[in-house]
Structure 1
Amino acid sequence: MPFLLRGARVLEALSRRTGHLLAWFTLAMALLQSGIVVLRRFFDSGSVALQESVVYLHGAVFMLGLAYALQTDAHVRVDVFYRQMRPRSRAWVNAIGYLVFLLPLCGFLLVSSWQFVLNSWWVFEDSANAGGLPGVFLLKSLIPLAAITLSLAGAAQFIRALIQLMETPPVATAAETSPALSKQPEETEV
Structure 2
Amino acid sequence: MNMLLDLSRIIDRLSRMIGQSIIWLVLVATLISTVNAIIRKAFNVGSNAFLEIQWYLFAAVFLLGAGYTFMQNAHVRIDVISNRLPQRARIWIDICGIVFFVLPMCYFMISFSWPIVMQAYASGEMSSNAGGLIRWPVYALVPVGFALLALQSTSELIKRIAFLTGHGPDPLRLGGHGNTEEASAGEPASDASDEARAR
TM-score bracket, normalised by the shorter chain, equals 0.7 to 0.9
Taking CA–CA contacts closer than 8 Å with sequence separation of 6 or more, which of the two structures ends up with the larger relative contact order?
1
Q: How big is the shift at 1:79? A: 2.7
- The root-mean-square deviation of aligned C-alpha atoms, in Å, is 2.0
Mapping for residues 72-111 of structure 1, pairs under 5 Å: 72-111=72-111
Residue 140 of structure 1 and its aligned partner are, at CA, apart by 0.4
Q: Could you tell me which residue of structure 1 aligns to residue 183 of structure 2?
A: none
What is the SS of the residue equivalent to 1:160? Answer: helix
Q: Percent identity?
A: 33
Amino acid aligned to 1:149: L
Which residue is equivalent to 1:118? Answer: 118
Question: What is aligned with 1:179?
Answer: none
* C-alpha distance in structure 2 between counterparts of 1:91 and 1:164, whole Å: 9
Q: Tell me which amino acid in the other structure corresponds to 2:36.
A: I
Structure 1 residue 170: Cα displacement: 5.0
Which residue does 2:131 correspond to in 1? Answer: 131
Structure 1 segment 29-48 matched on structure 2, within 5 A: 29-48=29-48
Aligned partner of 1:164 in structure 2 is 163
Alignment of 1:165-180 (within 5 A): 165-167=164-166, 170=193
Q: What 5-or-longer segments of structure 1 have no aligned partner?
A: 174-190
What per-residue deviation string (whole Å, max 9, x for no partner) do you get for residues 101-132 of structure 1? Answer: 11111111111112222211211222222222
* Structure 1 match to 2:187: none
| Distance across 2 between alignment mates of 1:81 and 1:156 | 25
* Alignment check: 8 A CA contact 2:16 2:68 kept: yes
Secondary structure of 2:65's counterpart equals: helix
Tell me by how many angstroms 1:12 deviates. 1.0
Whole-angstrom CA distance in 1 between matches of 2:131 and 2:42: 21
- Normalising by structure 1, we get a TM-score of 0.84
CA contact (8 A) 2:9 2:155 kept: yes
1:178 aligned residue:
none
**Runs of 4+ residues over 3 Å off in structure 1:** 168-173
Aligned to 2:11: 11
